[in-house]
Amino acid sequence: MPFLDKAAGEAERTAAAVAAAFKETATGAGNFQELAAQMVIMNATLVGLKSKNDELELKLHKLSEDKPHDKVEPEETKEEAVLKRLDRKDVDKPGKYGGNADHWLKWSKAFKKFLERQDTRWPAILDAVAERPCAPLQRGNPFIAADDASLQHDASLGNGSQLDLFKEQLNEYLENYTSGSAKAMVEACGDLKAFDPWRQLADKGHSLREAHVHVLRRKAYFPKACTSAKDIENHLNSWGADLELFLNAAGEKLLIGNRLMLVVDLCPDPMRKHLKDNE
């Protein structure tokens, strides 16, 4: 800054004058009066420099206040990346359901997952169809217009005015992924009554049937023991799938202690004996 350079120059000249005065005194060329005069000049110069220094500090302070401060902008909130849905090409197609009630729960689960890749509304719609009519005494009766109307006005399903389109697509899907007696039922109902075969298949295949409940419960509570230690992992996975299928269908719960007991029973004889002896 120019005023800083000027002050520095004056300080240098004053220092040079004092040095010259002392030099003259040391050589005898000057006298005491000259030295005193130089001291007066130096003192006046220092006072002036101090005044200028105070003035400069005031200017600098004012400049710092007038300078616009950079505003600290808040960091933009980054939106969480949305997980991309699986491509339907990457999802295995369900097998064909032939009407065997023992296969219904596993097949219907795979079928609903497959349709969910086409449209996320499908599982809720199929579950709602399977529960119609709600009165237990009316189970087995045909799917009537009143049931259609209740689905049409159920805002949670999100089908809007497209109920007939869902029927048409469901009929086509069922024709492609059923066989035998199940397919014959689907073909007999056609597009307009496509919800009825799904409800009938669910009625027949669902675990509400006592005989089916018994089959699932036996698989869950009485797992077959494996004969070799190398087969333990496969047996555990298979039993775990049967157990979850039963619990979800029957709405029951299995305590962790009972689960551990069944896992021990599933192990080969030597390992099972070792585990029981060290409990």
- The CA distance from 228 to 267, in Å, is 8
Burial pattern 158-181, b for ≥16 Cβ within 10 A else e, equals ebeeebeebbebbbebbeebbeee
The whole-angstrom distance between residue 157's C-alpha and the CA centroid of its chain comes to 23
Residue at 169: amino acid letter: Q
pLDDT per position as a tens digit, 37-76: 666 676 667 667 777 777 777 777 777 666 555 555 555 5
If you average pLDDT over residues 143-151, what whole number do you get? 75
**Pure H helices in 117-231:** 122-130, 145-152, 163-176, 180-189, 195-205, 210-221
CA geometry: angle 236, 238, 241, nearest 5 deg: 105
With cut-offs at 50, 70 and 90, classify the pLDDT of residue 21.
Answer: low
Q: Is the pLDDT of residue 19 over 60?
A: no
- Residue 3 pLDDT more than 50? no
Locus of tokens 């006592």: 210
pLDDT number for residue 6: 54
Choose between 211 and 101: higher pLDDT: 101
Tell me the percentage of the chain whose pLDDT exceeds 90.
19
Query: In the prediction, which pLDDT does 246 show?
Result: 84
More confident residue, 199 or 96: 96
Determine which of 81-90, 226-235, 250-259 has the lowest per-residue pLDDT on average. 81-90
What is the rounded distance in angstroms from the CA atom of residue 119 to the CA atom of residue 252?
30
Q: For residue 69, which phi and psi values (nearest 5 degrees)? A: -80, 145
Over residues 192-221, the mean pLDDT reads: 80
Q: What is the pLDDT of residue 114?
A: 92
Report residue 29's pLDDT band, with 50, 70 and 90 as the boundaries.
very low
Handedness of CA 28, 33, 34, 36 (dihedral sign): positive
Domain map of the chain by residue range? Answer: 2-64, 95-205, 210-277
